[in-house]
Chain A
Amino acid sequence: MSKKVDSSHSQGWNFEAAAMPFVDSLYNTAYRMTRNSEDAQDLVQETYLKAYRHYDKFQEGTNFKAWLFKILKNSFINNYRKKQSRPPQSDFAEIEDALESRVSDEATQNIKNPEDELLEDVLDEDVQRALDELPHDYRMAILLADLEGFSYKEIAEILEVPLGTVMSRLYRGRKLLESAMLDYAREHGYLRDGSPAKMRTRDADSKEYRDKASG
């Protein structure tokens, strides 16, 4: 019996010891989801308080880090998702359309992808901007897989979606991300020389667009 009284105290210390090493990981994900430090800090703090309150529901032997991320995800959805009017959905609808046609082009034409060697040339800020502006479902899946190294099974647990949904979010999310970051790189001009084929396409597109726009 006396053991039981002790356990409420030691639970706190166990929790701290188990949970505190994940502050940076949780904060990094929270920061990329909320896109500002203050909200990210509030979100992480809320995650810790909720996790502490429900620590008895955590099943020993299961993945503690994944459990914390699941709480973070739920807190994000409850508090922040509604507030975020960005990213502009219409822009992404356009990108998705472009992506569809590009994927089917690729499927039918056996083209050599000129972007192959260009990925590494994209500046950090353009990669980050592309990631930050992804729809949150895609962004979260990519953060969990690429930055936190969770397996598909763990991501499915955290996001509470089927494995197939994890796969499709990663697939579509990464295609969108790639497309957006290469577009930003070209906008900034530094991929121009490396990507003549693509530039021709874009010039043609924009000329066509101008022609249409001017009637």
Chain B
Amino acid sequence: MDCHKVREVVFLYADKEMDGELLISFEQHVAICPECARRAVHAERLIMVVRKRCGRQMAPADLRRRILTSLRHREAGN
């Protein structure tokens, strides 16, 4: 694998979607290329930042009630 290919598939690696031959040749390249090793870490970091910084919005309690009510209404109507 060359640096160009690493750039193309780096998110596959960071998302743990890479396996088999591709993973082996990715890891072989990254082991000898500091620039691509940095790229791989950077991709993982970016994913972590999105995951951690985008606070999850919890559903309002009322929404659960609304859903259950409408489902049971449907059910009764059947």
A-side interface residues toward B, CB under 8 Å? 8-9, 12, 15-16, 20, 23-24, 26-28, 31-32, 37, 40-41, 44-45, 48-49, 52-53, 103, 106-107, 110, 112-113, 116, 119-120, 122, 124, 127-128, 131, 142, 145-147, 151-152, 167, 170-171, 174, 177-178
Contacts and interface: CB of A to CB of B under 8 A. Distances in A.
18 contacts: A8-B75, A9-B75, A23-B63, A24-B58, A26-B59, A28-B58, A41-B66, A44-B59, A113-B42, A116-B42, A116-B45, A119-B46, A119-B49, A122-B49, A128-B54, A170-B11, A171-B11, A177-B50
A15 B59 contact: no
B45 A12 contact: no
Query: What 9 A-B pairs have minimum CB-CB distances, sorted nearest first?
Result: A27-B59, A127-B53, A12-B75, A31-B57, A124-B53, A146-B50, A23-B59, A48-B67, A28-B57
Interface of A is mostly: helix
B41 to A, nearest CB: 8
B57 to A, nearest CB: 4
Contacts of A8: 75, 78
Interface string B36-78: 0010011101110111011111111001101110111011001
Interface residues of B, number: 37
Contacts of B49: 119-120, 122, 127
Contacts of A49: 70-71, 74
Contacts of A107: 4, 7
Given A20-B68, A146-B47, A146-B51, 10 more contacts: A12-B71, A28-B59, A41-B59, A41-B66, A45-B63, A45-B70, A116-B45, A119-B49, A122-B53, A142-B50
Interface of B: 4, 7-8, 11-12, 15, 17, 35, 38, 41-43, 45-47, 49-51, 53-60, 63-64, 66-68, 70-72, 74-75, 78
